[in-house]
């Protein structure tokens, strides 16, 4: 008996050994040859010299020195292929000869720049978003990069947060679809990394967009249930799409910094969702745990590793302290082994052990980057990412009309590229003025200061340069008086047929470390708009921004408002395509646009409260509302106009009673009642009327972008199953609770029509 047990046990061991994958065998063997110090070295990531970030800039020789000692697993932020090659050479010649992984913040395109992610999301076109990530992957990999710090999938409900620009908006379902599309775009849809695929890094894990009061890096106070229902889905969707890595976030959650939060990294991401890649910290996030008030570098490094973090970006906490922690028995060698294995696995999957230079192709660099084809695609993408917020019959413009192009953003190329664009070609981005002047006769005037306060304007324009390149000559802001700028714009407006005012935010006003308490259009720009309005000329406002802005003061001044975000390398062309009607706008908002900053956080999928108040009715005491402002947004989530018009039928259900394991189809007829063909984003929302926990008044559960020729109708069918009707209950169980659900369809989250479905 005992003998046969031993035989079957050894058989089991044999089977387990022989069934090991080639990767496991390779890494077992490699790990067997590594010293503990070399293993720790793999957990270390540094930025390349000259990389501009809000953290320290590493010196080239410091990286080289570490590499020589085998103490670096990867480098990020280097665009120069010669440097990458040199690094790889040293890595292979030193220590264990393990190739480096090369990362980069490729956020919305690489050298060819697409609209910022918030803009991209307004296309609601997952194929387009996937293709844009694919194009970015091709360019990045042709520049030697094999790992991109994207997609950024942080849900955000507070437009004060500058980093809302980097994500897909306020809705978890839409955010999840975008997350998947981007992961597929970067990594490809199969399991193999080809040389034009890159590994995605999903960030910022987790809940970073919940920063209190929209202040960057601020604490996040959310319940686990609200986190799971309102924020976590995109991170999960990215995992399901096979994302290779995650980046931990700067914020704390439940009193524990995310970078050492075991519940987030180990319990949820790894154990519950089955993630088997590696997790890197955000830049200097381990060291920042000292400031969070957790302990010294040794303490925070140990705790981060033990919580499931694998790689340290720019803190030198792992290389600096883990060896000592092992000696003292504070950290187990096995924890280091786990982390090291995950990083080696990533390198293996990227094919770097087979050929460490497989991404370093000078030929690809010369032929595949910033090509006319890529630029043409960037133009196409940007055409689909412009939200028409208002149009009193002034758009499209007539080609040949005399246009006064005015405003501080009209001739600013960097505002086209937007935040997190590290393209060498930013200054070549097609400006709005350039794009318009290629179509029709124009004049140009700057029209106003960007901001009233010169010191703040200098900060948002030149802060980074002052920080990282002191001594660089910087032109003075406010070189001409505001009144003179306005007068010049007005004079040109008087001589024109129509005015196109290009206003909004430059990239320094959104993105990382760029939160605002006032999200209105700066008053200097409003002053200009008022003066232009007084000329009586038709006034088109082209809004460049990285966040939903409070346009309450702008709305009555403008005959049309086109929100173009930061539209990318081909921005000016793509905007002109829409302004002059070559393209019919079809984008819709993925964030609510507030009437006032005082409404924030503002999001369509809010709870009802016990004393609900209708969104567009005035103040009534003892209901959940404000004395001085409506509850509803100025422009709701899902909103956007077209040059044609669409009408919607009521939704019709295939059955009004659905068994909990069954399905139901909701159908809606959408008719193009205008004179132009157009694309319409048809949306479906649900509301779980009674549940064991309170549920949002509306939740997006499906959408479809359809092309509808003028005068024609299209029937759009949405099939729902219990997955679409489920949520995380108070015990964090994913449940579909029988009962009545409202099923709503419409062109946006406000203007929906509803039928009731009973789930049995």
The residue from 40, 95, 105, 379 that contacts ligand BGC (CB under 6 A) is: 105
In angstroms, what is the minimal distance from the CB of 465 to ligand BGC?
Answer: 17
Map tokens 């897909």 to a residue. 168
Q: Which of 649, 713, 681, 501 is nearest to 584 (CA)?
A: 681
Q: Which of 368, 366, 506, 370 is nearest to 428 (CA)?
A: 370
Distance CA(236)–CA(257), nearest Å, equals 20
**Residue 439, CA atoms < 13 Å, CB-side half-sphere:** 23
Which CB atom, from 185 or from 746, has the smaller least distance to ligand BGC?
185
In angstroms, what is the minimal distance from the CB of 422 to ligand BGC?
Answer: 9
CA distances from 315 to 75, 98, 300 (A): 13, 21, 11
Concatenated DSSP letters of 26-66: HHHHHHHH--HHHHHHHTEEEEPTT---SSPPPPHHHHHHH
Which CB atom, from 105 or from 130, has the smaller least distance to ligand BGC?
105
Distance CA(162)–CA(512), nearest Å, equals 6
In angstroms, what is the minimal distance from the CB of 105 to ligand BGC?
Answer: 5
Q: Which of 706, 712, 689, 719 is nearest to 747 (CA)?
A: 706
In angstroms, what is the minimal distance from the CB of 111 to ligand BGC?
Answer: 17
- Verify binding: residue 54, ligand BGC, rule CB under 6 A: yes
| Binding residues for ligand BGC, total number by CB under 6 A | 8
Which CB atom, from 43 or from 503, has the smaller least distance to ligand BGC?
43
Interior/surface letters 724-742, b for 16+ CB within 10 angstroms, e for the rest: bbebbbeeeeeebbeeebb
In angstroms, what is the minimal distance from the CB of 217 to ligand BGC?
Answer: 9
In angstroms, what is the minimal distance from the CB of 512 to ligand BGC?
Answer: 6
Distance CA(502)–CA(447), nearest Å, equals 9
Distance CA(437)–CA(575), nearest Å, equals 12
Site track for ligand BGC across 460-499, x = CB under 6 A: ----------------------------------------
Which CB atom, from 105 or from 559, has the smaller least distance to ligand BGC?
105
Distance CA(59)–CA(48), nearest Å, equals 7
337 is catalytic: no
- Verify binding: residue 283, ligand BGC, rule CB under 6 A: yes
DSSP-assigned letter for residue 308: T
Which CB atom, from 139 or from 570, has the smaller least distance to ligand BGC?
139
Q: Which of 749, 635, 615, 626 is nearest to 682 (CA)?
A: 749
The residue from 196, 252, 282, 288 that contacts ligand BGC (CB under 6 A) is: 282
Q: State both tokens at 241.
A: 């799409």
In angstroms, what is the minimal distance from the CB of 87 to ligand BGC?
Answer: 17
In angstroms, what is the minimal distance from the CB of 503 to ligand BGC?
Answer: 28
Beta bridge partners of 685: 700, 744
- Verify binding: residue 698, ligand BGC, rule CB under 6 A: no
Distance CA(34)–CA(558), nearest Å, equals 66
In angstroms, what is the minimal distance from the CB of 42 to ligand BGC?
Answer: 19
CA distances from 98 to 52, 90, 352, 498 (A): 27, 10, 9, 62
In angstroms, what is the minimal distance from the CB of 542 to ligand BGC?
Answer: 28
Q: Which of 203, 305, 285 is nearest to 244 (CA)?
A: 203
The residue from 38, 44, 53, 545 that contacts ligand BGC (CB under 6 A) is: 53
Interior/surface letters 185-204, b for 16+ CB within 10 angstroms, e for the rest: bbbbeeeebebbbbbbbbbb
Q: State both tokens at 627.
A: 């004395």
Which spans in 469-553 are helix H? 482-494, 523-533
Beta bridge partners of 753: 745
Who contacts 325 (Cβ-Cβ below 8 Å, separation ≥6)? Answer: 298, 301, 302, 331
Interior/surface letters 56-88, b for 16+ CB within 10 angstroms, e for the rest: ebbeeeebbebbeebbbbbbbbbbebebbebbb
Beta bridge partners of 313: 45
- Identify the H or E element spanning 579: helix 571-579
> In 10 A of CB 510, how many CB atoms?
30
Interacting positions 498-517 with ligand BGC (CB under 6 A): 512
Q: State both tokens at 587.
A: 């984008």
CB 550 within 8 Å of CB 543: no
In angstroms, what is the minimal distance from the CB of 513 to ligand BGC?
Answer: 8
Interacting positions 294-333 with ligand BGC (CB under 6 A): none
- Verify binding: residue 108, ligand BGC, rule CB under 6 A: no
- Verify binding: residue 57, ligand BGC, rule CB under 6 A: no
Which CB atom, from 505 or from 512, has the smaller least distance to ligand BGC?
512
Which CB atom, from 158 or from 699, has the smaller least distance to ligand BGC?
158
CB 546 within 8 Å of CB 505: yes
Q: State both tokens at 301.
A: 């490094």
- Verify binding: residue 203, ligand BGC, rule CB under 6 A: yes
Which CB atom, from 53 or from 525, has the smaller least distance to ligand BGC?
53
Q: Out of 105, 158, 197, 282, pick the active-site residue.
A: 282
Which CB atom, from 214 or from 633, has the smaller least distance to ligand BGC?
214
Which CB atom, from 149 or from 565, has the smaller least distance to ligand BGC?
149
126-142 vs 172-187: helix axis angle to the nearest 10? 40
Which CB atom, from 234 or from 407, has the smaller least distance to ligand BGC?
234
Interacting positions 141-180 with ligand BGC (CB under 6 A): 149
Interacting positions 620-679 with ligand BGC (CB under 6 A): none
In angstroms, what is the minimal distance from the CB of 569 to ligand BGC?
Answer: 21
CB 644 within 8 Å of CB 739: no
CB 593 within 8 Å of CB 548: yes
In angstroms, what is the minimal distance from the CB of 429 to ligand BGC?
Answer: 21
Which CB atom, from 139 or from 679, has the smaller least distance to ligand BGC?
139
Which CB atom, from 163 or from 341, has the smaller least distance to ligand BGC?
163
Binding stretches for ligand BGC (CB under 6 A): 53-54, 105, 149, 203, 282-283, 512
- Please identify every residue annotated as catalytic: 282
């Amino acid at each position: 008996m005992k003998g046969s047990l031993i035989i079957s046990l050894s058989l089991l061991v044999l089977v387990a050994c022989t069934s090991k994958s080639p990767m496991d065998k390779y890494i077992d063997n490699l790990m067997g040859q590594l010293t503990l110090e070399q293993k720790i070295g793999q957990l270390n990531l540094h930025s390349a010299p000259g990389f501009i970030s809000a953290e320290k800039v590493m010196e080239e020789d410091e990286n080289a020195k570490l590499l020589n000692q085998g103490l670096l697993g990867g480098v990020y932020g280097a665009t120069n292929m010669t440097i990458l090659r040199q690094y790889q050479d040293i890595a292979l010649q030193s220590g264990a000869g393990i190739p480096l992984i090369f990362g980069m913040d490729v956020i919305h395109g690489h050298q060819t720049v697409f609209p910022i992610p918030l803009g991209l999301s307004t296309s609601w076109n997952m194929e387009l978003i996937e293709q844009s990530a694919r194009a970015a992957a091709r360019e990045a990999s042709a520049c030697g990069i094999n790992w991109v710090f994207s997609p950024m999938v942080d849900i955000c409900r507070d437009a004060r947060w500058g980093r809302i620009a980097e994500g897909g908006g306020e809705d978890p379902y839409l955010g999840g679809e975008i997350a998947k599309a981007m992961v597929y775009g970067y990594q490809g849809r199969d399991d193999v990394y080809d040389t034009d695929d890159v590994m995605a890094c999903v960030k910022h894990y987790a809940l970073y967009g919940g920063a209190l009061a929209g202040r960057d890096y601020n604490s996040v106070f959310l319940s686990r249930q609200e986190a799971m229902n309102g924020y976590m889905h995109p991170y999960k969707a990215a995992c399901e799409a096979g994302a290779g890595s995650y980046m931990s976030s700067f914020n704390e959650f439940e009193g524990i910094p995310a970078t050492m939060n075991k519940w987030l990294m180990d319990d949820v991401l790894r154990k519950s969702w089955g993630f088997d890649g590696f997790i890197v910290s955000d830049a200097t996030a381990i060291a920042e745990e000292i400031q969070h008030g957790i302990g010294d570098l040794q303490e925070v490094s140990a705790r981060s590793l033990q919580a499931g973090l694998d790689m340290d970006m720019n803190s030198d906490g792992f290389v600096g302290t883990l060896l000592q922690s092992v000696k003292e028995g504070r950290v187990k060698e096995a924890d280091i082994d786990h982390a090291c294995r995950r990083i080696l696995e990533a390198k293996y999957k990227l094919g770097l052990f087979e050929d460490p230079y497989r991404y370093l192709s000078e030929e690809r660099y010369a032929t595949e980057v910033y090509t006319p084809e890529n630029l043409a695609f960037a133009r196409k993408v940007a055409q689909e990412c412009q939200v028409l917020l208002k149009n009193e019959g002034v758009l499209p413009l007539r080609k040949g009309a005399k246009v006064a192009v005015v405003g501080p953003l009209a001739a600013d190329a960097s505002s086209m590229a937007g935040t997190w664009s590290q393209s060498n070609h930013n200054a070549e981005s097609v400006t709005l003025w350039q794009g318009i002047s290629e179509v029709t006769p124009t004049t140009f005037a700057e029209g106003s200061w960007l901001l009233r306060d010169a010191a703040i304007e200098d900060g948002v324009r030149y802060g980074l340069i002052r920080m990282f390149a002191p001594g660089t000559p910087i032109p003075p802001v406010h070189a001409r008086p505001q009144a003179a700028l306005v007068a010049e714009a007005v004079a040109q407006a008087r001589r024109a047929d129509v005015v196109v005012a290009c206003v909004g935010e430059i990239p320094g006003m959104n993105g990382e470390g760029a939160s605002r308490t006032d999200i209105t259009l700066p008053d200097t720009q409003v002053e200009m708009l008022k003066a232009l309005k007084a000329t009586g000329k038709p006034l088109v406002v082209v809004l460049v921004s990285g966040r939903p802005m409070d346009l309450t003061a702008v709305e009555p001044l403008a005959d049309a408002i086109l929100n173009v975000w930061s539209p990318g390398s081909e921005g000016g062309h793509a905007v002109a395509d829409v302004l002059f009607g070559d393209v019919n706008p079809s984008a819709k908002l993925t964030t609510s646009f507030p009437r006032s900053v005082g409404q924030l956080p503002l999001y369509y999928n809010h709870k009802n409260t016990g004393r609900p108040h209708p969104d567009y009715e005035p103040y009534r005491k003892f209901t959940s509302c404000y004395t001085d402002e409506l509850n509803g947004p100025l422009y709701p989530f899902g909103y956007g106009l077209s040059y044609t018009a669409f009408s919607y039928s009521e939704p019709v259900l295939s059955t009004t009673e659905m068994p909990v394991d069954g399905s139901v189809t909701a159908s809606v007829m959408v008719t193009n009642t205008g004179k132009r063909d157009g694309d319409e984003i048809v949306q479906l929302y649900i509301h779980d009327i009674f549940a064991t926990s309170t549920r949002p008044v509306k939740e997006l559960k499906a959408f479809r972008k359809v092309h509808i020729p003028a005068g024609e109708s299209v029937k759009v069918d949405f099939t729902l199953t219990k997955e679409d009707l489920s949520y995380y209950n108070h015990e964090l169980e994913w449940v579909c609770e029988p009962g009545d659900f409202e099923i709503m369809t419409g062109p946006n989250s406000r203007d929906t029509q509803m039928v009731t479905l009973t789930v049995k």
